[in-house]
Structure 1
Amino acid sequence: MEGRGGSRRESRARPSAAVLFRGPVEPVIFIANFALVLQGPVTTQYLWHRFSTDLGFNGTRTKESCNNHSVDPTMREVETLTSHWTMYMNLGGFLVGLFTSTLLGAWSDCVGRRPLLVLASLSLLLQVIVSIFVVQLDLHVGFFVLGRILCALLGDFSGLLAAGFASVADVSTSQSRTFRMAVMEACIGVAGMLASLLGGHWLRAQGYANPFWLALALLIVMTLYSAFCFGETVKEPTHTKLFTLRHHRSIFQLYVTPALGKSRKHLALYSLAVFTVITVHFGAQDIMTIYELSAPLCWDSKLIGYGSAAYNLQYLTSLLGLRLLQCCLADTWVAEIGLAFNILGMVVFAFATITPLMFTGYGFLFLSLVITPVIRAKLSKLVSKSEQGALFSAVSCVNNTAMLMASGIFNSLYPATLSFMKGFPFLLGAGLLFIPAILIGVLEKVHPHDEFQQFPDHSDLPSPEATGAK
């Protein structure tokens, strides 16, 4: 690993910073996602409200008035503007995140996970402060885009995930890693479910501003926990520069440096699989609120909160399902079952015109999120301990690229297909999910055990990767 062994002159081991207690990383991920999900639907509905006001559209959220205006061109324009500005926010953040996510994860292999957690926590704090100013002062909605860009510069949620999953890989065994990854994702889901329920009711009662203030308070607590309570999982943190191309090269070397068997080929193909899954998940999630706000569903903020809670409940049901299915099935086939239910859910969404059918679609997603922890665990087993931060930095890059593609494709496709089939983007998502299903099955069939190769920890000795990174 860079900064160790052969680089003793450039980086020296430093003692870990004092902490109040050695807490796990899961509370950080839980609080961060709670704050983000609390803001997400509120931001979309705020955009809808602003554009409705600017265009003189009476966007009353009763079903009768919504259906009466279902063919109103002004309502169609509100939908299009909301979708496009959501895309602009995502594009601004993800384009910047493509650079920072590849830099920070590999950096954490040297300096430890705590500095990255603190930096990413501060980035989320900065974003919510900008959002508060926009809502409180009625600033131009373009400032939402500025907030996303500033957040991405300092790490964003992808930085938290890179540090979080890497810290889990640092302390887990190969046998327990898949479940530990699923626990992390369950923290994301439970937080999202609770935030969705709270956000819908709160928005109806007190308007747009207060959810952002709660998010601000939670993110302050999270930043303090990251700085003073998180137990560092890198055994010997070392000083190293942040802005250096060596961190980016360490990501590149993951995919090109020769290794045992065909593990690097597996690394690339599993990365493609997770790329496709995340593209569909985030693309569907991006348009879900607009899909539910408009005719024929015409949901209000309360129903949107219930729907978002049902969507996030899949994290918890997937964790329980994974635990049960692992008793009788290999991880690969658990992931295939999850993909099958995900495809069914997307098809139901595509044709949902009534509320019960939408919740049926949410029900089919109860196992859909067993896929990503399985793939993350398989990826983690393909690299050595000293490469975990670089790996999850690469996964964050894949994640950001997928979210960028999802935002561009789904937010552009949704308004373009309103005239002939409103649910077409969900059908597209269902079709795309056949790609990871085929890849995972083929990889298991051809080399079912390569991903479980164990790598010695060469943290105290110069490795070919470290030598090439100098």
Structure 2
Amino acid sequence: MTYRVLSQLVPILPGLFLAWLGDMGWRKSLIALPLLGLMLSRLVVLFMLILDWPLKVLWVEVIITGLCGGTTVFWSGIMTLLSLCSTGQDRSKLLMRAELISGLSGVVGCLTAGHLYDFSSPTLRPGVVTLLLCFLLHASCILYVIFFLKVGALCDNKTLKKANDEATWDHPHKVSNIILLWVSVVLYNAVDSSTRNILVLFQLMEPLHWNVIQVGYGNASGFLITLSSFLSSVILSRWLSDSALITIGLLSNAAGMLPMAFATTTYMFVIARALTFFSLMPVPFICSLLSQQVHGSSYSKLLTSLQLSLKISSAGTNLLYAKIYKETFSWFPGLVLVLSSLISTLAIIPIRIYDSRLSVRCIYRVIEDEEADQPDLLLEKQEPSGCGVGELEPIQTGFWARGP
């Protein structure tokens, strides 16, 4: 747990600096430098295994990763590029698609990692093959970013101007909307990341007693949630608003954590896990709504700051959950999962407040046609920030109505 907390706190200052570089035009730095840190850290651990270095070398590994930004800055860089090359109307789907690709690759990694880790020989220790593969994959990603990724082609001036125009709608609650969305995603992510860490202990120890291969399959089932969440978002987004999909995701997470806390067999755990099949929808949809509140030139700072705040909150809840789990393990090891269910339900409140402020989707203003001999009054529809730009046609309103 200390290792995880350190990995979440070290990237704060480097992340802010890289976010500033990204908004200054160095978009690739948000992706290339974190990948370089990850590659070097894997190399350090590889040498630790081969040369039998002491376990304290892992502190060097986590510091190298953090100083280069780590996965926090890497993922915010991905979201920044996707936000810049999309409009507000399709941004949530694009971010959800990125979550899907990440989840599917996680499924492959989890299914193979357990088997590759046990591969050894008289000259190779367990884990060496896994680290070699990680090093090669990170190196290939860096080469792709440097030589093949065309950031200028993704973020052309027309797309950036359109993204900026979407954020200029005059809305009286813009700042408070950002705060509401921020609070909701922080509450959700804090319990989600902390629960994932505790689930490893929950699976290895009583009452489940899983082995390493079973844990790999369990993690793979967790990543499969990205597939179910993506398909659900694609289908349901035809009729439901983004805030409604966020609420469904939060309810799914809460509904899955509660019965999981009382699971005593693998069969019961799998059933409870199935209830969380929509639980990964909130973060990409909230990130999409947040990006629509600011200009495109501030995406890096906003999304990186968001990711860093998520890491800081996760660090605090990781320590709290570890303490609670240690104190309650002997009589009720699933208490932290019950707590996660309650907090996930609590995160729905800011989303409901946000949605109630956007219940009136269209604001009309009267403009005068200067070309006509007699001024004609025309209605020009505007969208509140965060709703996207739609066509000039009647639309539904309300919490469950799909925005224009």
Could you state the TM-score of these two structures normalised by the residue count of structure 1?
A: 0.71
Tell me: higher relative CO, structure 1 or 2? Use CA pairs within 8 A at least 6 residues apart. 1
Query: Is residue 2:16 matched to residue 1:102?
Result: yes
Shift in Å, 1:260: 4.0
Q: Which is further off, 131-140 or 342-351?
A: 131-140
Moved more, 366-375 or 111-120: 111-120
TM-superposed deviation, 1:88? 1.4
Q: Is the 8 A contact 1:348 1:361 kept in 2?
A: yes
Instruction: Return structure 1 stretches of 4+ with deviation > 6 angstroms.
Output: none
Contact residue 410 and residue 425 of structure 1 kept, 8 A: yes
Q: 1:412 to 1:141 in 2, by over 3 A?
A: farther
User: 2:101 — aligned with what?
Assistant: 187
When structure 1 is superposed on structure 2, of 150-159 and 124-133 the one drifting more is 124-133
Query: Matches of 1:267 and 1:101 in 2, distance apart?
Result: 21
Question: Which runs of structure 2 are paired with 1:439-450 in the superposition (5 Å)?
Answer: 439-448=350-359, 449=361, 450=384
In structure 2, the partner of 1:231 is 150
Between structures 1 and 2, the one with greater helix share: 1
| Rounded Cα–Cα distance in structure 1 between residues aligned with 2:388 and 2:263 | 47
Q: 2:267 aligns with which of 356, 364, 370?
A: 356
For residues 17-70 of structure 1, what are the alpha-carbon distances to aligned partners after superposition, in whole Å with 9 as ceiling and x for unaligned? xxxxxxxxxxxxxxxxxxxxxxxxxxxxxxxxxxxxxxxxxxxxxxxxxxxxxx
Structure 2: distance between partners of 1:224 and 1:427:
44
Report the identity percentage. 23
Change (3 A) 1:111 1:273: same
Q: 2:87 corresponds to which letter in structure 1?
A: T
Show the counterpart of 1:202. Answer: 116
State whether residues 18 and 29 of structure 2, in contact with CA within 8 Å, keep that contact through their aligned partners in structure 1. no
| SS across alignment from 2:278 | helix
Other-structure match for 2:254: 343
1:205 to 1:361, Cα distance in 2 relative to 1, 3 A: farther
**2:225 match:** 314
Alignment match, 1:115: 29
> Offset of 1:299 from its aligned partner?
0.7
- Structure 1 unmatched runs, 5+: 1-86, 237-258, 456-470
Aligned match for 1:368, one of 279, 284, 295? 279
Whether the aligned pair in 2 keeps the contact of 1:113 and 1:234 (CA below 8 Å) is no
Q: Name the structure 2 match of 1:402.
A: 313
Q: How does 1:242-257 map to 2 (within 5 A)?
A: none
Matched residue, 1:289: 200
Map of 2:56 onto structure 1: 142
Cα distance in structure 2, aligned partners of 1:364 and 1:422:
20
1:160 deviates by 0.9
User: C-alpha deviations, 1:234-266, integer Å up to 9, x for none?
Assistant: 558xxxxxxxxxxxxxxxxxxxxxx74211111
1:453 Cα offset (Å): 6.2
SS at match of 1:368: coil
Q: Distance in 2 between matches of 1:422 and 1:444?
A: 36
Separation (CA, whole Å) in 2 of partners of 1:100 and 1:188: 24
Contact 2:260–2:334 under 8 Å retained in 1: yes
Per the TM alignment, residue 316 of structure 1 is displaced from its structure 2 partner at its CA by 1.1
Q: Distance in 2 between matches of 1:397 and 1:90?
A: 14
- Structure 2 counterpart of 1:279: 190
- Asked if 1 retains the 8 angstrom alpha-carbon contact of 2:185 and 2:283, the reply is yes
- Residue range with higher mean Cα deviation, 285-294 or 136-145: 136-145
Deviation at 1:136, TM superposition (A): 3.0
Question: Aligned residue for 2:45?
Answer: 131
What is the 5 A alignment of 1:160-171? 160-171=74-85
**Aligned-pair CA distance for 1:407:** 2.1
- Unaligned ranges ≥5, structure 2: 121-125, 158-169, 362-383, 390-404
On the 8 A contact 2:88/2:387 being kept in 1, the answer is no
- The root-mean-square deviation of aligned C-alpha atoms, in Å, is 1.9
